[in-house]
Structure 1
Amino acid sequence: MKLVPAAPAFLQGGGAMGERIRAFDWGSHPLGPPAQWPPALRMAMSLCLNSSFPTAIYWGPAFHVLYNDAWSEIPAEKHPAILGMPAREGWSDIWDIVGPQFQHVFATGEGMALYEQMLPMVRGGRPCETWWNYSLTAIRDAEHGIGGIFNQGNEVTAIVHARRERQAEIDRWREMFRQAPAPVALLRGPRHVFEFANDAYLRLVAGRDIVGKPVAEAIPEVRAQGFIELLDGVYGSGEAYLGTGAKVTLHRTPDVPAEECVLDFVYQPTRDAAGVVDGIFVLATDVTERARAETALRLTNWQLGEERARLAALIEAEQRAQQALRRFNEALEGHVKTRTAELSRALAAQNAVADRLRATFATDLIFQGFLDTQGTLLDANPASLAAIRCTLDQVMGRPFWETPWFSATPDAAQRVRAAVETAARGEVVRTMIRVNLPDGLRSFLFSLRPVFNGRQEVVGLVPEALEIDEPAVKLAA
């Protein structure tokens, strides 16, 4: 019976690779039997086999490959044939990169650590882009000579690719925001430094160089208008702020005095990976023309009311003095025709304003509608109808809270019905709401405001919803 000599103590353990190395035919290999290996290689081999981190040893001028279980996944289909192989042969696909690194460490004894090194390894028969963090350390003997290289490392290909994809996604979002028709900006830190501002935002502030500057420095005219305090409040509380019909004085044209404009805007806080507020996303809508149209409409309605009252007085006076004024009948008819023509022109102007308001109502940036004081839906703009894939005829005449905008979301109907009751009492309701629509869960800044007649009576309700995309914001962060 032939006795198998026991393996040297430094080769004990090491799992599957320990068994494979102990069973390897080292007698016919240039390294020779393990019992004759130099002390430095023995010590390094013991460390390698018992390490849980991917570790390899490249020994001698030919850099013969020895490695542990954790490292065995790195050469992929080359394992286990690469065991004992010269590194130039085992790593022929990447030798032009790692060969000079090995030679430098072996010749100088200077270790090196490389991070995110791209190595075009052959896997599955074709070159693949792989990325690695690894170190190369000289193994010295008792006389301080260099016998080999101690290598530890791990693959970071997935991390590099994920970062690339994330950056590409951020770039796509930035480009989308840059081209957006509404002014958009991203502020960072407690001083509200402009990190990004799209073309529409730059046009709003006369093309000023604002990126990289705090708001107070980039747009100094807003400091006295309370907007820095608003930003501080959003940053400190972490709560979004919705401004509607805010009057802002801005320098909108270079070398021209500041002018007043009217904006609807949202200050939405952004958070870092730990959930801490690190910035504010700004979305604004210039509604100056809309505000002017509403002012003109109110003036027209007042003028029409005055004219109707005056005409009513004339008619009443005519009835009381019909007999006495009969001889003036012809002149009076001419006067009435003149006034009627004036009224027609006023009504035409009112209709033109109404047409402009209808065009505003048809915007695709926000959802809008109109309810009576009982909450019955009377109208809705195309963007809101498209979101629920319905026509106006399918939802008109129904209680607003029973429509498809809210029917698929638990508790949404009760919240909306309560909001309708509040708005019907003359109060404006503003809140954030998440609803299940046909294309998935979406988040909105929702408002419900009452419409008053000349006697300050509530005659209708206007619901509006502005969508907020909470993940695109975080990604841009």
Structure 2
Amino acid sequence: MTTAHPPPFLSSSTRSSLDILARDWNGTSVGPPAQWPLAIQSVVATWMDSPQAMFVSWGTDLRCIFNDAYRPFLGERADTGIGRPFAELWADIWADIEPIVAKALRGEGSRFEDMPLTMTRNGYAEPTWWTFTYMPLRDENHRILGMLCTTSETTNQVLGARKAALERERQRHMLQQMPGFVGLLSGPDHVFDYVNDAYRAISGDREFIGRSVREVFPELADQGFYELLDRVYATGKPFVAQAMPIRLGDEPQPRFIDLLYQPMREDDGAVGGVFVGGYEVTSRVQAEVQLRQFNETLENRVEERTAELVRAQETLRQAQKLEAVGQLTGGVAHDFNNLLTVIGSSVELMRRKNVPEERRQKYLEAIGDTVRRAAKLTGQLLAFARRQPLRPEVFDVARRVEAVAELVQPLVGARVRIDFLPSAPTCLAEADVSQFDTALVNLAVNARDAMNGEGLLTIRVDAVTRLPGVRGQPTRDGNFIVVTMTDSGSGIAPDKLELIFEPFFTTKGVGKGTGLGLSQVFGFAKQSGGDVQVSSAPNEGATFSLFLPQAPAHLSPAEPDAADLEKAHIQGASILVVEDNATVGQFSTAVLHDLGYETTWATDAMQALALLAEDEMRFDLVFTDIIMPGMNGVELARTVRDKYPGLPVVLTSGYSDVLTDELPRDLELVNKPYSIDALSRVIRQTLRNSTSAR
């Protein structure tokens, strides 16, 4: 039709209005726009400029008219969408929405929240989620002309909520593995948000989540625990007690517990809840009572007293661990509670209606950044516990230190001078290079803070033939490379030297350090077969010496891989995903599918082996979790390597004792939580290596 004299209701200059004017409507079921019913004209004129995505379908074959806000949902079919029949425009989802359309044409409206639809709008099928209403469109005589829809795509919100739920589940799994009882309470009424199995084992069969301490434990009314919790919440000061008596239920005798109440703070510093942790030590208390009885008859019971002292000393050592456990669990609870707050708040804000796209992207970035911070925190804890999977390789320590020193210079600031002293011609070590770099950065940052951002930092590398005795350990002969870092800072007090490597211990102000940097250095050094030594005195600076095993003489530094990892991945490759967790399995297969791979999901190792036995040529790669019931992922990988040579295997896990023992060097590992880019890169490179090796 001509646009010289457009109908008044199409006076808008939007793209969709221009498409309506440019389209030839002759021969369609609705005819030229100038002849459209007033109800249709009024609707189009009203919402054509609206920021809310809308469309109307009318006529015998439901011709579609939509505004500009709706166009992004159509993808590549937006340019030809105006005036097409609804069933033709959305042919890929017509089977799902036809009953809803029919209901609207019968005069009944419908509304859906986060409805899943798999649609092809950009050349490939993709899962999407939508919140929308379908309403009958009537003329002035109340006759139904067609259907009116308002809609918004909620795919990002749904995927973000699922990702946040996975992260929360991972953090709860970490707390579940704590050796003592753990509970998380929120608000001034101390409502249970979480308890681990150890807590339930002590407390008995009770309903915890969503109920207050007073509701769950009415028998504690006269035992002082309510008042202690109120005081910790009100003052923000932790409470620690050993061998505290407690009566649960109708037990005739009290139990005894070593107890920690640690306040959990929000981002603004206010107390938002209380972390509860500790151990039941009834047996220890009973042993101490018996010890006193033995002392009263010492002359007659020397042998019995000696045996009892041995047992008492063991329980005492357990008691002495409580403070460290309290500091660790309190720090973990505080840091993860902060991370959960960011994730939870971002998800809640994204669920609100009419959230601008720019702000939604900001919330998604906040979730992604927080997940990365949580992964870094977990990695630092695993480093201290010596439970991180290391990938050692041979490298020239001096060259590596010199390179890291250049990178660290901007981090420590221009007022800190870094002097790198020449060392022996070649100092080769065998360790995880990434963890080595992290350790150097942590030491440099620690030195910068000790010097208040100004001073001299001296670094040297030497080869030695003995590892000195540290923290009560005997000296050890052997070939070692030692990196010595000396600062001109304020030094360390003697009573703090034995504490600086403990996790969450820090002498810095609030918000200036997590207390995990030096614990990472300690864990990395010990797990690599070396150690770390510190010498210092107040106002005389500090010297940290990092010892690593020297590489055998016949080995040479690893050369960097020149392969271009950013090339397109192998399209259509078939991947066997082995994952026992349903949520993670669905997520992994969906991600791999979106990356262009064919996927088959097995819930355990035995099912995976059965699928391989049916047709071993069906799969190009096996992607398996480590921790699974029955045969674990490493055992599955070894079985696949023996039975099906040439079929590559990629492992994934957030934590596993299997990894800390010995990870085969020919198996790739993706650490959870992994990013899509990291997973894609490892899968792509493994497939490329496998293809080139055949």
TM-score range, shorter chain: 0.5 to 0.7
Among 417, 434, 438, which residue is 2:514 paired with? 434
SS class of match (2:278)? strand
- What is the identity, as a one-letter code, of the residue corresponding to 2:79? P
Specify the alignment match of 1:49 in structure 2: 48
Residue 405 of structure 1 corresponds to: 500
Greater fraction of residues in strand: 1
Q: Which moved more, 1:39-48 or 1:187-196?
A: 187-196
Within 5 Å, which residues of 2 pair with 1:105-144? 105-108=104-107, 110-144=108-142
Change (3 A) 1:5 1:105: same
Deviation track 1:275-328 (CA, whole Å, cap 9, x = no partner) reads 87664332222344455667778999x899xx9xxxxxxxxxxxxxxxxxxxxx
SS at match of 1:50: coil
Partner SS, residue 57 of structure 2: strand
Deviates more, 1:122-131 or 1:90-99: 122-131
Matched position secondary structure for 1:93: helix
Q: Secondary structure at the match of 1:58?
A: strand
Q: Hey, what's the Cα distance between the residues in 1 that align with 2:470 and 2:66?
A: 71
- Aligned match of 2:274 in 241, 255, 280? 280
Alpha-carbon distance between aligned partners in 1 of 2:122 and 2:290, rounded to the nearest angstrom? 73
Give the letter for the 1:74 counterpart.
F
1:8-407 equivalent positions in 2, closer than 5 A: 8-108=7-107, 110-208=108-206, 213-237=211-235, 239-245=236-242, 247-251=244-248, 256-269=251-264, 279-290=273-284, 350=309, 353-354=312-313, 357-358=316-317, 365=325, 393-394=469-470, 399-401=494-496, 405=500
Contact map agreement 1:293 1:357 (CA 8 A) in 2 = no
1:43-62 deviation line (CA, Å, top 9, x unaligned):
11112322121111112131
Give the number of aligned pairs: 369
Structure 2 CA distance for aligned equivalents of residues 347 and 137 of structure 1: 85
User: Alpha-carbon deviation of 1:245?
Assistant: 1.2
Larger radius of gyration: 1
Q: Give 1:354 deviation, angstroms.
A: 4.0
- 1:412: Cα distance to partner? 4.4
C-alpha distance in 1, partners of 2:319/2:228? 28
Decide whether aligned partners of structure 1 residues 384 and 70 sit closer, same or farther in structure 2, where only a CA change above 3 A counts: closer
Letter matched to residue 165 of structure 1: K
Q: 5+ unaligned residues in a row in structure 2: which ranges?
A: 329-381, 388-437, 444-466, 474-491, 522-694
Look up the match of 2:347: none
CA contact (8 A) 1:234 1:269 kept: no
Q: Distance in 2 between matches of 1:408 and 1:438?
A: 8
The answer to which structure, 1 or 2, has the higher relative contact order (CA under 8 A, 6+ apart) is 1
Structure 2 partner of 1:5 = 4
What SS does the corresponding residue of 2:26 show, helix, strand or coil? helix
Unaligned runs of 5+ in 1: 308-338, 369-381, 416-431, 442-477
Shift of 1:128: 2.2
Alpha-carbon contact 1:367-1:383 (below 8 Å) kept: no
- The secondary structure found in structure 2 opposite 1:80 is helix
The one-letter code sitting in structure 2 at the alignment partner of 1:8 is P
- Residues 148 and 343 of structure 1: is their aligned pair in 2 closer, same or farther, counting only changes over 3 Å? closer
Partners of 2:194 and 2:209 within 8 A in 1: yes
> Does the 8 A contact of 2:59 with 2:146 survive in 1?
yes
> What letter matches 1:434 in structure 2?
T
Shift of 1:209: 5.0
One-letter amino acid matched to 1:280: V
In structure 2, distance between residues paired with 1:26 and 1:361 = 85
Contact 2:129–2:153, Cα closer than 8 Å, also in 1 = yes
Deviation at residue 102 of structure 1 after TM alignment: 1.6
CA distance in 2, matches of 1:95, 1:37: 26
Q: What secondary structure, in the 3-state scheme, does the structure 2 residue paired with 1:166 have?
A: helix
- SS of the aligned residue for 2:167 comes to helix
C-alpha separation between the residues in 2 aligned to 1:227 and 1:256? 17
Q: How far apart are residue 132 of structure 1 and its match?
A: 0.8
Q: Note the alpha carbon deviations across 1:200-253, whole angstroms, 9 max, x for none.
A: 11222244555555423432342222111122233344x2523121512223xx
Amino acid at match of 2:231: G
2: distance between equivalents of 1:205 and 1:386? 32
What is the rounded CA distance, in whole Å, between the counterparts of 1:166 and 1:393 in structure 2? Answer: 46
How many angstroms does 1:351 deviate by? 5.6
Partner residue of 2:621? none
- TM-score normalized by structure 1? 0.64
Q: Provide closer, same or farther for how the CA distance between residues 28 and 290 of structure 1 changes in structure 2, counting only shifts above 3 A.
A: same
Change in Cα spacing, 1:277 to 1:435, as seen in structure 2 (3 Å) is closer
Distance in structure 2 (CA, Å) of the matches to 1:187 and 1:45: 54
CA distance in 2 between counterparts of 1:248 and 1:13 reads: 78
- The verdict on how the C-alpha distance between 1:169 and 1:347 changes in structure 2, with shifts beyond 3 A counting, is same
The alpha-carbon distance between structure 1 residues 383 and 256, as it changes in their structure 2 partners (threshold 3 A), is farther
In structure 2, how many angstroms separate the alpha carbons of the residues matched to 1:67 and 1:183? 58
Partners of 1:347 and 1:227 lie apart in 2 by 36
Match of 1:447 in 2: none
Deviates more, 1:83-92 or 1:168-177: 168-177
Following superposition, the deviation at residue 194 of structure 1 comes to 3.6
* Cα gap change, 1:21 to 1:394, in 2 (>3 Å): farther
Amino acid aligned to 1:42: Q
Distance 1:413 1:36, change over 3 A: closer
Deviations 1:78-105 (A, max 9, x none): 2122221111111111112222212211
User: How far did 1:384 drift?
Assistant: 6.8
- Quote the residue 1:461 is aligned against: none
Matched with 1:315 is: none
* RMSD between aligned residues: 4.4
Normalised to the residue count of structure 2, the TM-score between the two structures is 0.45
Deviations 1:322-359 (A, max 9, x none): xxxxxxxxxxxxxxxxx9x9989866765664455456
- Matches of 2:276 and 2:503, distance apart in 1: 30
Q: CA–CA distance in 1 between the matches of 2:3 and 2:218?
A: 87
Structure 2: distance between partners of 1:4 and 1:210:
69
Cα distance change on mapping 1:404 and 1:21 into 2, 3 Å: farther
Could you say if the C-alpha distance between residues 240 and 28 of structure 1 is closer, same or farther in structure 2, counting changes exceeding 3 Å?
farther
- CA deviation after TM superposition for structure 1 residue 169, in Å: 3.0
Amino acid at match of 2:175: F
CA distance in 2, matches of 1:383, 1:245: 29
Aligned to 1:334: none
**Contact map agreement 1:57 1:66 (CA 8 A) in 2:** yes
Distance 2:111 2:319 in 1: 62
Q: Is this contact kept in 2: 1:406–1:412, CA < 8 A?
A: no
Equivalent residues of 2:117, 2:127 under 8 A apart? yes
